[in-house]
Amino acid sequence: MWLEDKEGVVILKVLVQPRASKNELVGIQGDCLKIKVTSPPIEDRANEKLCEFLSHIMGVKKSGIEVIGGHKARVKRVMVAGCTPEEAKRKLMIS
């Protein structure tokens, strides 16, 4: 499952495609939410861009989004604070 509700925060399972031509929410691929980011996977830049992009989409502060797993992998676990699962699905436009 790409979305979990854990103790007042939402955990997203995200498949990241770095070095894309634009930052973009692709949709569900397998059991992950696929997101393309323009930054390369060097020195945590792709993770930072992912958090910045999700912050913009979700309407939460960047400090409320954190990569909590898979820092050096394409599949990551991302925590989003201040958002319910229903709000996350609506903001990500995924049912």
Whole-model pTM: value is 0.93
Give me the mean pLDDT over the 27-41 stretch.
96
pLDDT for the residue numbered 75: 98
The percent of residues in the chain predicted with pLDDT above 90, rounded, is 92
Contact 71, 44 (CB under 8 A): yes
pLDDT for the residue numbered 8: 86
Beta bridge partners of 17: 36
Fold held by 3-91: Conserved Hypothetical Protein Mth637; Chain: A; (3.30.1200)
Distances (CA, A) of 75 to 7, 16, 30, 59: 22, 6, 11, 23
pLDDT for the residue numbered 94: 67
Distance of CA 1 to the CA centre of its chain: 14
Distances (CA, A) of 82 to 8, 30, 31, 64: 8, 26, 23, 7
pLDDT at 67 over 80: yes
Give me the mean pLDDT over the 64-73 stretch.
97
pLDDT at 25 over 50: yes
